[in-house]
């Protein structure tokens, strides 16, 4: 008798029965909203499976419902490249925008053929990407910058509405690979209950359900995530070929059959003339929904039409998000203060009597600039209307003059910076008043925090309070000074012992090898975000070539406009900025060239190779290892597959080694990784 035909032993058989039962009841509860058993009975079945797997660890599987209870804490999240980018959507705010979108689509298709759309509520949650291989959840990730996201698989597993194993459906062949996109959210009542509990425990409160969802997904301890009432709706797949359907609507129906929850308010294949009706219907019912929405999403239904319309670098031409009118409430302006940003901009901010708008308590609203205050004639003591919509910063829409008593005080923009008392000037071509003091502590604090942030040099442990101390005590006057810090200096700061000082210095040392794109972003150049920094790095390859590039050369880069090009050129034309960069390099900063072939430079021997890191490395953090691999042309993913070239195993590696050996992927140690990096010119 072959091994495959051996009969199952009783525990193995019962475990399989329990998994099938629990997966079935999850589908009934989360997708069909038609449970067949009580919560108590479900809990009894779950506990039986937990006990069975605890007694027989060999029965554990990645798709077991028991994985929803969470796992021990991680040190930090790995990152993963999305199989296809998660693009953002163009925005609209009215009926006119719906009509204009339909007309753009028709012009883009260049014919008068009949069109249909699929439309759904725009849930105010957190976008995620879920990858399934052979019907089993392999990875879950945040949207991130659209191209790479944080790997949060263990947290995703805890969400009851996320299928760990896809349902078998005779009509749908099980896909070998599936990249599903969804929105993780929290019901309003669940959010309030969560905050009520946090208040009783003396913990800080979440600002809104979306904020609570995002914070829950980014817990390093997934057992905490498992206690949060998260839910998910799916809204599509990364590529039409995954399920082989001909339209977006058909794909959603197939996803439902595979076990995914699709928003029941979604309407499939409706004509253009029905879109405005849907927009108003959903707007009218949003106050009665269990979760927050801030608009609708309209998509061209036929994939053939989507492919013909194509995408821009940031958004598809075949979809649009149309926002609802913002919710408004009345309140009073207690004061108008001025905040100083890291670019020196002085921004007036209205301090409000707290008011609840759509379930969120609002106590401040940006007034943007001096002209905006004058245009709206906002005064201290005024009664005003305040609005918010989705993630938009609360704003004052108008003053109610009839409530004025005569005691209201007009706002006057200060002529001196409130942070450093130096002159503040409004340039002739700008609406913003700026502090002109380059050493202003408010600007410097923001610049240093930005320089050390996760998407920049990622200096772990360099937080707001520590940065403020370093600046106040004259230890740091620019980012170059970070690389001069020593244990003695750090130990002199409040609440900073030797061990903490040594850890911070180790993090600073690790950050000294930084890819060009991250360094350009870290500089905080106005109008240059992560995407623009990546494009500039890919075009010029080295910091020296960026510094010497002319305005026209920079503008010639696709997706880089004249404003961003002028900002880059102005930054590097400033001798102080160039001096700071050179000083940082003298202190050991190494700005790694871009991976792509530039100016005749050959591609690295690691180009195109995929790595997976597991366990703790002795000479560098996993984040540093990832950056070095990427600088050498390789990429780092969070899961082992047939496309993985190497699994790098450090101390206390996880199950990824076993997976690698099962499918024949080479496992190497840290020494071999360092040797490979040296061969590629990375040390």
**Closest residue by Cα to residue 660 from 643, 676, 677:** 643
CATH superfamily of domain region 327-410: Nucleic acid-binding proteins (2.40.50.140)
| pLDDT tens, residue by residue, 267-321 | 999 999 999 999 999 988 887 888 989 899 999 999 999 999 998 767 899 999 9
| pLDDT tens, residue by residue, 533-549 | 888 998 898 999 999 99
DSSP readout, 602-655?
PPPTTTT-EEEEESB-SSS-HHHHHHHHHHTT-EEESS--TT--EEEE-BS--T
The conformation of residue 347, written as its DSSP 8-state character, comes to E
User: Judging by DSSP bridges, how do beta strands 293-300 and 383-388 pair with one another?
Assistant: unpaired
CATH architecture of the domain with residue range 514-592: Orthogonal Bundle (1.10)
**Closest residue by Cα to residue 174 from 243, 86, 127, 95:** 243
What CA–CA distance (Å, rounded) separates 276 from 278? 5
Mean pLDDT by 10 residues, the chain (683 residues): 50 84 76 66 77 78 69 70 88 90 90 85 93 93 87 92 86 90 92 78 73 88 88 93 90 93 94 94 87 93 92 86 84 94 85 83 86 92 81 77 94 90 73 72 85 86 88 90 93 86 90 91 84 86 92 86 82 85 93 58 58 83 80 76 82 77 83 83 72
Token output for 631: 């600088």
CATH code at 610-679: 3.40.50.10190
Burial (CB count within 10 angstroms: exposed 0-12, middle 13-18, buried 19+), residue 641: middle
Do 433 and 345 touch, CB atoms closer than 8 A?
yes
What CA–CA distance (Å, rounded) separates 517 from 450? 14
What residues act catalytically? 122
Token output for 1: 């008798």
If you search the block for the tokens 């202190």, which residue do you land on? 587
Give pLDDT, residue 599.
Answer: 35
What CA–CA distance (Å, rounded) separates 255 from 180? 9
What CA–CA distance (Å, rounded) separates 49 from 228? 22
Give pLDDT, residue 139.
Answer: 93
Q: Where are the domains of the chain?
A: 3-60, 90-323, 327-410, 441-511, 514-592, 610-679
User: Judging by DSSP bridges, how do beta strands 395-399 and 409-410 pair with one another?
Assistant: unpaired
Cα separations in angstroms, 233 against 146, 188, 262, 396: 19, 15, 5, 33
Query: What is the CATH T-level fold of the domain 3-60, as seen in this structure?
Result: Helix Hairpins (1.10.287)
Query: What is the CATH T-level fold of the domain 441-511, as seen in this structure?
Result: DNA polymerase; domain 1 (1.10.150)
Cα separations in angstroms, 247 against 169, 250, 302, 307: 19, 5, 4, 11
**Closest residue by Cα to residue 247 from 302, 300, 299, 298:** 302
The conformation of residue 290, written as its DSSP 8-state character, comes to S
What pTM was computed for the model?
0.54
**Closest residue by Cα to residue 342 from 460, 445, 259:** 445
Cα separations in angstroms, 413 against 106, 198, 451, 544: 49, 39, 29, 41
The conformation of residue 599, written as its DSSP 8-state character, comes to T
Q: Do domains 441-511 and 514-592 have the same CATH topology?
A: yes
Beta bridge partners of 612: 637, 647
- For 100, phi and psi rounded to 5 degrees? -65, -40
Token output for 56: 């027989």
CATH superfamily of domain region 90-323: DNA ligase/mRNA capping enzyme (3.30.470.30)
What CA–CA distance (Å, rounded) separates 86 from 180? 11
């Amino acid at each position: 008798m072959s091994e495959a035909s051996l009969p199952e032993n009783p525990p193995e058989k019962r475990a399989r029965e329990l998994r099938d039962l629990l997966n079935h009841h999850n589908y009934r509860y989360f997708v069909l909203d038609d449970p067949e058993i009580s919560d108590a009975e479900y809990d009894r079945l779950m506990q039986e499976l937990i006990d069975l797997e605890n007694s027989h660890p060999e029965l554990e599987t990645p798709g077991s419902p028991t994985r929803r209870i969470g796992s021990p804490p991680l040190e930090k999240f790995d990152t993963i490249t999305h199989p296809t980018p998660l693009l953002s959507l163009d925005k609209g705010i009215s009926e006119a925008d719906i009509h204009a979108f339909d007309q753009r689509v028709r012009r883009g298709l260049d014919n008068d053929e009949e069109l249909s759309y699929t439309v759904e509520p725009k849930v105010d949650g957190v976008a995620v990407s879920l990858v399934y291989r052979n019907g089993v959840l392999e990875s879950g990730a945040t949207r991130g910058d659209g191209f790479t996201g944080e790997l949060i698989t263990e947290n995703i597993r805890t969400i009851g509405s996320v299928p760990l194993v896809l349902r078998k459906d005779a009509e749908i062949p099980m896909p070998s690979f599936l990249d599903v996109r969804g929105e993780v959210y929290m019901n309003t009542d669940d959010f309030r209950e969560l905050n009520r509990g946090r208040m009783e425990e003396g913990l800080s409160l979440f600002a809104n359900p979306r904020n609570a969802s995002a914070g829950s997904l980014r817990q390093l301890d997934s057992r905490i995530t498992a206690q949060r009432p998260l839910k998910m709706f799916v809204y599509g797949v990364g590529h039409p070929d995954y399920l082989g359907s001909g339209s977006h609507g058909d794909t959603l129906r197939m996803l439902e059959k595979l076990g995914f929850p699709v928003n029941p308010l979604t309407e499939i294949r409706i004509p253009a003339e029905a879109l405005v009706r849907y927009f108003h219907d959903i707007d009218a019912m949003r106050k009665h929904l269990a979760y927050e929405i801030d608009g609708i999403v309209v998509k061209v239904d036929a994939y053939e039409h989507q492919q013909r319309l194509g995408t821009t670098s940031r958004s598809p031409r075949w979809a649009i998000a149309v926002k609802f009118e913002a919710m408004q409430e009345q309140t009073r302006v207690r004061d108008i203060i001025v905040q100083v940003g890291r670019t020196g901009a002085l921004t007036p901010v209205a301090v409000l009597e707290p008011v609840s708008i759509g379930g969120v308590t609002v106590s401040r609203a940006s007034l943007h600039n001096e002209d905006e205050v004058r245009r709206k004639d906002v005064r201290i003591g005024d009664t005003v209307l305040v609005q918010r919509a989705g993630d938009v910063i609360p704003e004052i829409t108008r003053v109610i003059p009839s409530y004025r008593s005569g005691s209201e005080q007009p706002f006057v923009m200060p002529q001196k910076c409130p942070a450093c008392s130096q002159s503040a000037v409004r340039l002739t071509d700008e609406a913003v008043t700026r502090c002109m003091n380059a050493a202003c502590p408010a600007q410097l604090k923001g610049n240093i925090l930005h320089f050390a942030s996760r998407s920049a040099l990622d200096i772990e442990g360099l937080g707001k309070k520590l940065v403020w101390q370093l600046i106040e005590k004259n230890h740091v006057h620019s980012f170059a000074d970070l690389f001069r810090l020593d244990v003695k200096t750090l130990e002199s700061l409040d609440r900073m012992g030797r061990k903490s000082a040594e850890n911070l210095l180790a993090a600073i040392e690790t950050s000294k090898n930084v890819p060009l794109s991250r360094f350009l972003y870290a500089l905080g150049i106005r109008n240059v975000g992560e995407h623009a920094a990546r494009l500039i790095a890919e075009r010029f390859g080295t910091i020296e070539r960026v510094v010497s590039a002319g305005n026209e050369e920079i503008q010639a880069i696709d997706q880089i406009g004249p404003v961003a090009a002028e900002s880059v050129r102005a930054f590097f034309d400033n001798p102080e900025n160039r001096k700071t960069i050179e000083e940082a390099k003298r202190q050991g900063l190494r700005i790694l060239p871009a991976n792509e072939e530039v100016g005749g430079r050959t591609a690295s021997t690691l180009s195109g190779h995929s790595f997976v890191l597991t366990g703790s490395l002795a000479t560098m953090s996993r984040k540093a290892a990832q950056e070095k691999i990427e600088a050498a042309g390789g990429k780092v993913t969070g899961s082992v597959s047939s496309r993985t070239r190497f699994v790098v195993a450090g101390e206390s590696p996880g199950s990824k080694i076993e997976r690698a050996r099962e499918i024949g992927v080479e496992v190497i140690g840290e020494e071999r990784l360092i040797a490979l990096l040296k061969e590629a010119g990375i040390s």
